[in-house]
Amino acid sequence: MTVTVTGPATLRLAPEHPSGDKRFKLLDAAIKKHQFRQDALIEVLHTAQGLFGYLDDGLLWYIARALKLPPSRVYGVATFYHFFTLKPQGAHTCIVCMGTACYIKGADVLLRAAEELAGVRAGETTADRQLSLLTARCLGACGIAPAVVYDGQVAGHQSPTSVCSRLKEWLVRGTG
């Protein structure tokens, strides 16, 4: 792969990303807020993922140039941390907490039920891009274990039935 790296100076002056995507402006603002500091890489990646949903190669290149960092370093950091995803996510996300408290209260059963229903394994997205099934290390919601996060909303005391009925709604709506 050959890529020419343009100097960051041209980039800072560029009024708009060639794609015309306005989100790059917001990203630029965040990078500027951090004064182009290289140690703000993780913060910038957080912002980028918040804006775009995931980090594709072009975006990582863009950040590397803006912070004057070698692309290998940016890619290395983006792949090191679990929070960053390099693939697009489904319309809905279901995160099953696999922390210890949830695990001994049957989180593995919840996950199996969800996997069976959605037809994908944990970490994957359904073919129709309706649902991403994920696991979390621990949400710190151990008092209400087992916990599942549906589109950012934490729900406690879950059972295989409650998980499945929730997921069915999303999956049915997607095919219908």
Distance between CA atoms of residues 50 and 29, nearest Å: 14
For another protein, the closer of residues 4 and 35 by Cβ is 35
Minimum distance of another protein from residue 12's CB (angstroms): 19
Residues 146 and 112 sit within 8 Å (Cβ to Cβ): no
Minimum distance of another protein from residue 4's CB (angstroms): 25
Place of tokens 């997921």: 167
Distance between CA atoms of residues 165 and 176, nearest Å: 16
For another protein, the closer of residues 106 and 174 by Cβ is 106
For another protein, the closer of residues 29 and 104 by Cβ is 104
Q: Which pair of structure tokens corresponds to residue 68?
A: 């004057």
Minimum distance of another protein from residue 65's CB (angstroms): 16
Which residue ranges make up the site for another protein (CB under 8 A)? 37-43, 45-46, 73, 76-77, 80-84, 98-101, 103-105, 136-145, 147, 153-156
Q: Which residues contact 3 (CB under 8 A, 6 or more apart)?
A: 61, 71
Minimum distance of another protein from residue 116's CB (angstroms): 21
